Amino acid sequence: MLRDLVPSTQRPLSRFESDPIINFRKAMDRLFDNFNGEFEGLTPANWSQSLQSFTPKLELEDKDDKMLLTAELPGLTDKDVQVEVSKDYLTVKGEKKRDREENGKNGYFCERTYGSFERTIRLPAEIIRDKIDATVRDGVLTVTMPKSPDAKKEMKRIPVHQ
């Protein structure tokens, strides 16, 4: 790599090739390109589809008087899902079980995913734990969490000026 910083005497150099700052910049760009390439497979966007599907997609909405969490859980019922609250954290756990297994002499083909999952999120507001309600309908989990009166008062709108 240091060799790239020293101009070669085998051919005539253009004005940009002889500039040590430009050569240094190119060497650093190559170094970071090589470094970043080694970690591409570790990002969630590049995980296999089967690994991604074990993680349900969540949506958390902040309403005036409540927090509303929805999660995509296709094929699951209320018996397959657990919802827990601990301090400022909400955890959704579950397991998608295989209902049948077909084995044949020619093997089997399966694109559906099975297994357990767990998602934990930090709640941005204080909630009333005794009044949390969770339902599963048509593969969507809905968790309704009423905010405490103090949490409603804590929000203050800041005026924006030009």
76 and 129 housed in the same domain: yes
Q: pLDDT digit string (tens) for 92-137? A: 999 887 665 556 566 566 666 677 889 999 988 788 888 999 999 9
Q: In the predicted model, what is the mean pLDDT of the chain?
A: 76
Can you give the CATH number for the domain in which 106 is found? Answer: 2.60.40.790
Mean pLDDT value across residues 22-26: 86
- For residue 120, tell me if it sits in a domain: yes
- For residue 122, tell me if it sits in a domain: yes
Sheet holding 81-86, edge to edge: 81-86, 89-96, 115-122
Per the structure, how many domains does the chain have?
Answer: 2
15 and 60 housed in the same domain: no
Q: Choose between 79 and 39: higher pLDDT.
A: 79
Q: pLDDT digit string (tens) for 49-69? A: 444 446 788 999 988 889 999
- For residue 159, tell me if it sits in a domain: no
26 and 69 housed in the same domain: no
58 and 28 housed in the same domain: no
| HSE-up (13 A, CA, CB side) for residue 69 | 29
The pLDDT value given to residue 160: 92
The pLDDT value given to residue 50: 44
| HSE-up (13 A, CA, CB side) for residue 43 | 7
- For residue 43, tell me if it sits in a domain: no
90 and 57 housed in the same domain: yes
Domain that holds residue 114: 49-154
Locate all alpha helices (DSSP H) within 9-158, ordered by sequence.
20-37, 49-52, 149-154
The pLDDT value given to residue 33: 73
20 and 87 housed in the same domain: no
Q: Choose between 90 and 155: higher pLDDT.
A: 90
How far is it between the farthest Cα atoms of the chain?
79
61 and 7 housed in the same domain: no
What is the pTM assigned to this prediction? 0.57
136/68 Cα distance (integer angstroms): 13
76 and 138 housed in the same domain: yes
CA dist list (Å): 79 to 41, 97, 141: 35, 11, 12
139 and 67 housed in the same domain: yes
Banded model confidence at residue 81, pLDDT cuts 50, 70, 90? very high
53 and 123 housed in the same domain: yes
Tokens of 72: 């995509």
53 and 120 housed in the same domain: yes
The pLDDT value given to residue 137: 93
- For residue 44, tell me if it sits in a domain: no
